[in-house]
Amino acid sequence: MSEKIVQSSNDEAATLTAVDYIQNQEELEKEARELMPYDPNECTYEMGELRQPLFACLTCSAENENQPIGVCYSCSIQCHSQHELVELFTKRSFVCDCGTTRMKNTKDGACKLRRHGKKESSGRKLSNSSATHSTYLELAAEDIPSSSNTYNQNYHGRFCGCKQVYNPLEETGHMIQCYFGFTCGEDWYHDRCVMGITFADEKANQKHGNSQEESVPDGTNIKTDISKAQSESADIDSIEKLQYFPKLETFDEFICWRCVTSFKDVFEDLDKHFPGVILSKLPRFSNTSTVEDWYAKREKLLEPCFKKIKIEESSGKLGEFHNQEYSLFLSNDFRFKLIDNYESLDHESKLYKFLLNNSFLFKDDPIFKPPEDDSEEDCYSSSNAGTGRALETLPRDKAIESIQAYDKIKSKLKDFFKPFAEQGKVVTEEEVRNFFGHIDDKNNDSGQ
């Protein structure tokens, strides 16, 4: 289509081809489907504890005495789309909080998906359409919340050891999630903070250390959202500023210093019994202002070890960081090494019991994902979403009339645009007004 919609006949700058408008809308919906490709019509609450994508709802939290509230993928779209949400990516053993008494102060807080049951047909549709329910009632959140859910600062929008509120417009550098999460709750960390370089010092370092005015892509997350266009500059930046931070492709998982500290003896035992599982240990030094400062401290820490390296080698221990905070980076094949050999450990040993109790670290730990939304024509577009929300507030008979009228207008609009598309003509504001005026006249003549 190449016709044009003219918002004002005297404003050529505001001219937009109708095909461009439609294509832009389709591109936006396609992009939205790529970012959120799953069918959002089933809440995970009744499935119990899952490792699943979660969103923190700051709006509901504020309405409920700042109690942290996490909701599943579907509820983030169907129940909290107008709320302030923070994407947390995946968390283990979590039950959706939507519609539970954690949201008891939220008006109409009942989960819309559980309230009306599962969808009756495929496609991304409103679950609580008034077309299928006689009256829309406001219901309180009364379901019982899970007693096993655990919460950390992420549910209040804060991340990392620096406890910063994540702002993608201001964020620089990389963030990486702790895979273990026993102590930190699977928190996300800035690479600089993993090393102990403070936020303010790192910023100053960036300005001072880079002669070229290049910045790190905003909001880049290791293993999650490094775009193709940004990955090269991000890698260059990582080499320039944090050359001692392990490269993404060299390791599989990261365990933060907080979780390591809680089980330091166990992890040192792990390194002793299964060489190669731990790719590297990265010490964290507080009050570190530059990468060079960090390196100097690391060299000083390792210096005594060189004198007794033969003793360390003979004992099989790597205890140079025993009294120092450090994070772990696990090798790409660490799972195979543990699965093949962990049963050979003494079953009464602390290490064996740790691995047995935390088998998700090396055994299959699937992430629940809703079924993909394959529908094209039935896709729940942004325009349909707005229409659906408006219809929810109407009585059943009025809602049905409104849906029928909406469908008629959609069909007539399609017929209206068709000749302009075929002939490449311009659609003016006057023609659009005449179109709707003609519809009004027909409705008046028919008594509608």
Q: Are 39 and 373 in contact (CB under 8 A)?
A: yes
Share of the chain above pLDDT 90, in %: 46
Q: Which residue has the higher pLDDT, 23 or 393?
A: 23
- Cα 184 to Cα 150, 152, 327, 448: the distances in Å are 10, 7, 12, 62
Res 390 pLDDT > 60: no
What is the tens place of the pLDDT at every residue in 299-326? 988 876 555 554 444 444 445 666 899 9
Closest CA to 4 of 17, 19, 14: 17
Q: Which residues contact 293 (CB under 8 A, 6 or more apart)?
A: 285
pLDDT average, residue stretch 49-77: 97
d(CA 302, CA 325): 14
Res 135 pLDDT > 60: no
What is the tens place of the pLDDT at every residue in 141-177? 999 999 999 999 999 999 999 999 987 777 777 899 9
pLDDT average, residue stretch 17-35: 64
Residue ranges per structural domain of the chain? 4-37+378-445, 181-359
What is the tens place of the pLDDT at every residue in 262-292? 999 999 999 999 999 999 999 999 888 889 9
What is the tens place of the pLDDT at every residue in 190-207? 999 999 987 554 454 444
Please tell me the predicted confidence (pLDDT) of residue 209: 43
Please tell me the predicted confidence (pLDDT) of residue 315: 42
Q: Place 75 in a pLDDT band, splitting at 50, 70 and 90.
A: very high
Please tell me the predicted confidence (pLDDT) of residue 242: 76
Q: Which residue has the higher pLDDT, 339 or 168?
A: 339
Please give the single-letter amino acid code of residue 388.
Answer: G
Res 236 pLDDT > 50: no
Please tell me the predicted confidence (pLDDT) of residue 280: 95
Please tell me the predicted confidence (pLDDT) of residue 372: 79
Please tell me the predicted confidence (pLDDT) of residue 397: 45
d(CA 323, CA 316): 18
What is the tens place of the pLDDT at every residue in 7-25? 444 444 445 555 666 666 6
d(CA 175, CA 2): 44
Closest CA to 181 of 51, 49, 363: 51
Q: Which residue has the tokens 């090798």?
A: 331
C-alpha 166, offset from chain centre: 12
Q: Indicate the range of 87-101, 180-194, 230-244 predicted with least confidence.
A: 230-244
Q: Place 58 in a pLDDT band, splitting at 50, 70 and 90.
A: very high
Count of H-run helices and E-run strands, the chain = 16, 13
Q: Place 238 in a pLDDT band, splitting at 50, 70 and 90.
A: very low
Please tell me the predicted confidence (pLDDT) of residue 445: 59
Q: Which residues pair with 71 in a beta bridge?
A: 55
Q: Place 443 in a pLDDT band, splitting at 50, 70 and 90.
A: low
Share of the chain above pLDDT 70, in %: 59
Q: Determine the 3-state secondary structure of 391 from DSSP.
A: helix
Q: Indicate the range of 113-122, 361-370, 430-439 predicted with least confidence.
A: 113-122
- Other CB atoms within a 10 A radius of the CB of residue 368 amount to 14
